[in-house]
Amino acid sequence: MIAKVGTINRMEDVSNLDRMRAQRLLQAEAADALVLFQPEAFRYATGASAGVATMWGRAGSAIALVPADAGCPMAVVVSDHAAGAVRRSLGEADIRTHRIWIDSVGLRGESDLAGVNAAYRQAGNVGPRPETFDQDACFRLLGDLLCDRSLASARIAVDLEFMPSADFLSLKAILPDVTWLDGSTVLRRLRVVKTPTEITWLRQASRAAEAGLVRMRETIAAGVPLSALSAAWLEGAQSEAHAQGYGLSGHWDYISVGADLGDSRAVVTPGALIKADVGTLVEGYSSDGARTFCLGKPTALAGDIFKALEQAFAVGLEHIRPGNSFGSVHAAMLGSMRRDGFDEYYRGHFGHSVGGSVGIEEWPFFSHDNGEVIEPNMVVALEAPFYAQGLGALMIEDQFLVTQTGAECMNALPRTLVELSA
């Protein structure tokens, strides 16, 4: 049953998807709805976990239907295993369920096997289960939803960047009357402007990661292995999150020590450059930031390179303003490096959006000729790196919330090349 108006708001409240923005973007593509299959996109749209049946990276086990009409409620297809959690999150929303391999039954005081078997039958929970999940059954449930919404022959946008080709062929075979469109850019443009909830998660993730850098800095000394720096960073990040009352859903780090950028067994030595590019995840949303340290005084060349990176970073930051393009930031930073004598240095991008997609780095990127326009409430990471085998890595990276007039930094540590006593 389609949710009543009073319960529609429950789904809208837990969703991070802006329905009015979605309506404008879908109308611009002449699409009647957006259908999302990627697990991260499902959670983004509904606020609920897509469930364990997504582990194989195949489409169908969790599906979110987002009508172009912002006044029309969303609906979902999920597994019977995930349905309870989804209902708790979404209330009485329109939820269609399918069976997966996991057997489970609800018991209410039954004391013998006869009672257990009766509980299966009373719930309609009988019959064989699929090896993993029945993709065709899921697509048919989507078809039922489309029929109920008078969308059986509509133009439907899909997150094709996620969907495997074989799955898309099956979808088209089962629902041949639909005109399927690539909705990947629509989804990207929806996700790039963040809600207050998303901004809070990204701010928390950034603060935790930075607290880890403070802890890592305290650990740097001659003879300390890279692995110990990584462990210290994580301990500091987790401690900060715990102290502030939130949890980390993940973490990552790219730390290098010394002149050999690929030496995972490196130990700190006097004069060694230490680059820490790190991030933590809160509710699946990843921060991204980096700092550079040196035990003792860096070489003159390292110092000169870092000064150029500082200047390029400052120039790029000045261009992070609503109305400017992402490409203009790249042009400004590359131009700064050229003015400082780096004739052959060329970065593919100088940063990117951050959020809750599959990877750490989200589209759009601060890349050459990228005409995508910077908007308020985007959260971006600006980076100025230099990698040199035989010298080491140097990097500055901070995370920013784009405001109406500029960019608010989510980090507090100085952007300098930190020289530590040997």
Spell out the per-residue pLDDT of the chain, length 422, in tens: 233 233 344 566 789 999 999 999 999 999 999 999 999 999 999 999 999 999 999 999 999 999 999 999 999 999 999 999 999 888 878 999 999 999 988 899 888 999 999 999 998 889 999 999 999 999 999 999 999 999 999 999 999 999 999 999 999 999 999 999 999 999 999 999 999 999 999 999 999 999 999 999 999 999 999 999 999 999 999 999 999 999 999 999 999 999 999 999 999 999 999 999 999 999 999 999 999 999 999 999 999 999 999 999 999 999 999 999 999 999 999 999 999 999 999 999 999 999 998 888 999 999 999 999 999 999 999 999 999 999 999 999 999 999 999 999 999 999 999 999 97
- Phi, psi of 320, rounded to the nearest 5 degrees: -80, 85
Name the segment(s) of the chain with CATH classification 3.90.230.10.
196-420
Name the segment(s) of the chain with CATH classification 3.40.350.10.
5-192
Residue 214: which H helix or E strand, with range?
helix 196-219
Q: pTM score > 0.75 for this model?
A: yes
- Does residue 213 sit in helix, strand or coil? helix
Of 414, 350, 409, 349, the closest CA to residue 379 belongs to 409
Return the number of other C-beta atoms located less than 10 Å from residue 317's C-beta.
Answer: 20
Residue 286 and residue 279: Cα distance in Å, rounded?
A: 6
Residue 122 and residue 106: Cα distance in Å, rounded?
A: 10
Q: Which CATH architecture fits 196-420?
A: Alpha-Beta Complex (3.90)
User: CATH: 3.50.50.60, 3.30.830.10, 2.40.50.140, 3.40.350.10. Which one for 5-192?
Assistant: 3.40.350.10
